[in-house]
Structure 1
Amino acid sequence: MTNSPKTYKTEIDFSTDWEIPAAEKYIFQYFHQQLDNLVANQLHIHGVKLYTVDSGIVVTAIIRHSLPKKLRIDQVVLVVKDKEGKELAKKQFDMELFGELEACTARPWNFLFEMEDILVPYDEIINEMDFEMAFEYHEKVVKDFELHLDDNWKNGLNEDQQGYVHNLVSTLEPIKENEISIVGFHFHESDDAVNIYIIIRNAFSDTLTIENLPIQLFDAADDMVCKLGFPIGQFEIASKQARPISLSFSKDVFMKENPDFSSWRIELIPQTL
């Protein structure tokens, strides 16, 4: 099973509060074009140039995001690193003047790191040296989920199969607090439907009751094959709990003819559950 995330190309947008000569805009556009696409809901920073000045260093960077909505950044902590990953400077910036970014856009900006923000002897920093930029943030994540199997699942899975599901849950990547995650782990195609087993994980602090589960199914070409909302009754999932559920996608509602299911993936459609 392959689960390749969809990626997004950002559009560059220049702030009206920063008068940038046309020649420099072309340079930023060039650097932006070289950047890899982002996965969904990602915030990224790419360092363009580093200059040494009397008061410290100035770093020019491009901030971009792949959220499906506008983004306003209040404050960020940025870290400058050399190519070996050694931290050279760190500072918290007020981003009020940076302004608001439209969905899936990128914007260049200058950042001044003063002498007190420098973490190494100043002579280690060379004008226009190669460097990397990163956000420093400590998002709280949930990694330990308890698998809950109701009687139907306990009776329907033998001991080895239950062990497989337990092991799967224990090896899944952590997810952010206050998020819901779905992972497909079994796929079966019949003449008239595709049946998928998924694991739902709840990283909220409270028990959730899910009445409708909106799912998108993609094939090996990463084409959307089907988009359905599954009414699943009063499906309760406790905090830090993982529960399996089976879903059936009728081929009558497929949006693509003859999809290639040599690999596949599913996504939760963002909305209120």
Structure 2
Amino acid sequence: MFPFFKKKNGDEVIKTGKDTTISSAELIGDSQDIPEEDTVSTELSFHPKWKLSKEKEYVFRFLNNDLTPLKPNQISLAGVDLTQEDNSINVTAFLRNSLSKAIKIEKVEIILLDETKTILARKEFDLGELDEIPPKSSRPWMFIFEKETWETDEIPNEGWSLAFNIGSAQPHRLDLEQSWQDSLPAEEKEKLEKLVSTLPKLKKKEFNLMPIQTRMLEDGKITSTVLFRNGNPTSIKIKHLPLELVDGDQDIIAKGAFPMEDFEIKANTSKPWTFIFPAEMVNKQEPNFSKCIVRPIHKHKS
């Protein structure tokens, strides 16, 4: 079931992967533990049906004893070993649970990353096959990425990591900037949440902008509230955004560039923001606000 692990001089085993950690609330919506300790060491736990040789048990115990303790209410993927074959990448890792109760994870997408966090492969795994992960324990498993799940053929031998694609584990949701969270009335938040939940599902890696309210003010300015929709497994940050506003007649009625100060749209979320086009940026005095489009302005190479 497992390859021979890479070794240094003598019999010392090399752990070639890195660890990734998330809160249990992010993955399974549960973080009931009231921390009684600063860190949690996880005990080795084999799947009940596994039958391993004493040598492999020893290797796993050695590796587990060397893992960094977790904080309370965390779930971790600790990368151990990676081998690449013609049609698969076989990754051995510990799934770790720092909660004081057993957890069971069902289907979730797991991504293989390189040292720069570039995605190398992605696949949905049914982690129900691991059975329940006991309290404060580490369970070794092999994650097999078939060739059709790869995004590159260049797979590093070291510095890689496995990570949960949180977006695939949870429904697409509304995310509000703190200023909106503090000032928006509860009924307006509910309207936005309902809108986000009823919109067509985004494709993997899809990112788009959708205007939800556009109007002209008495002083000639146009305001447009836009929903940034991120279907990617990772967050997207925007520092500067040139935009143009197109009305129902397909006329560009306003355009401008907006500083965003590292505006972040988290993985698998939709986030609203309001843009104000000053009167001098407005090109049409009586726009047709039906079916408006807001789109980034891309610079074309000459």
Shorter-chain TM-score: which interval?
0.3 to 0.5
User: Which structure shows the higher strand fraction?
Assistant: 1
Task: State the TM-score, normalizing by the size of structure 1.
Answer: 0.47
